[in-house]
Amino acid sequence: MAYIGKEPIVGNFQKCDAITVVNGQAAYTLQVSSTNVIPESANHMLVSLNGILQAPGAANSFTVSGSTLTFASNLATGDVIDFVILLGNVLDLGVPSDDTVGAAQIKADLISGTTALASTPADTDEFLVSDAGTLKRIDYSLIKGGGKIGQVVSTTLTSTVSTTSTTAENLTGVVAAITPSATSSKILILVSLTTSHTTSNYRVHFKISGGNAANYDGDAATGHETAMSATHIRDAYSLMSNSMNYLDSPSSTSEVTYQVQWWTEGGTAYIGRPATIDANGGNTASTITVMEVLA
């Protein structure tokens, strides 16, 4: 709070140094520990003269200006100023001394939840906890649970797709994009699909592109494909299940797109249907699901 003039001395109860020399004058300097002090006003003082409390004010026994106490008339030799006590600003409690406020002085409904936190706390947001009876603050980063799922994005393909490509190409419709909320988050990728081939004993290969998923491909070797997964087709009537999962660490808060890619060693491969359909054949759905795993 701003003040015009001297800022009030809040709740500062002081006993002035003894005034031992009464020299027949009306004005005397007020000191505490040999340092001049300035009372709030005459009304904030207790002054005892010859064992009698004096009435403050110009029309009564004394006034005060700065650090000077002035009696209404000159004191006589032998008069005794018993004490001068300064009351400070008694209408204001001021700031309590350290370690003086206890549970009994705090209202039970002080923390009322009037303002609700409308979003997930930031790592630097602080909470109050009791540590063996001592109230302490703690960052949210130290108490938040790790491994929780922050968000889920899923794409389902119900139509059928075919390819004759012998090199990796995008599997149309089996793609999902997600934007991590923190660079420390991981992304769990789950893929489920069924595949078939027109030629018996042929293989269909799969992998995931996007993020760091390429790290999950098999090691390159002469004469071998490098893929995340592969299915060996028994015959043209077979519809083989295939699944992939990978925990990626994109280390980014930008959108990441995960795309399933596939290829065949020759002939025609299908997704979601047998290569040769008979009375017992049926189409199936394929899905890709990506989940943000919070740190």
The residue type of 74 is: N
pLDDT tens, per residue, the chain with 295 residues: 555 655 555 557 899 999 987 888 999 999 999 999 999 889 999 999 999 999 999 888 999 999 999 999 999 888 999 999 998 765 666 677 788 877 777 777 776 666 778 888 888 888 888 888 888 999 888 877 777 898 999 999 999 999 999 999 999 999 999 999 999 999 999 999 999 999 988 989 999 999 987 777 776 654 556 667 778 888 888 889 899 999 999 999 999 999 999 999 899 999 999 998 876 667 899 999 999 998 8
Helix (H) or strand (E) holding 173: strand 169-178
pLDDT for the residue 277: 82
The structure tokens listed for 278 are 């008979």
What are the structure tokens assigned to 265, written together? 């060693």
Q: How far apart are CA 194 and CA 260, in angstroms?
A: 13
pLDDT at 66: 93
> What is the pLDDT at residue 4?
62
Q: 149-293: which CATH topology?
A: Jelly Rolls (2.60.120)
**197: which strand partners?**
269
How is the chain split into domains, by residue range?
14-86, 149-293
What would the two tokens of residue 7 be?
């800022």
pTM of the model: 0.54
The Cα–Cα gap between 164 and 171 comes to 12
- Both tokens assigned to 104: 């009994």
Structure tokens, 95: 């700031």
Residue 94 confidence (pLDDT): 62
**What pLDDT shows up at residue 9?**
56
- Give the closest residue to 293 by CA, choosing from 191, 158, 146, 160: 146
Task: Tell me how far CA of residue 85 lies from CA of 37, 76, 268, 288, in angstroms.
Answer: 11, 22, 104, 82
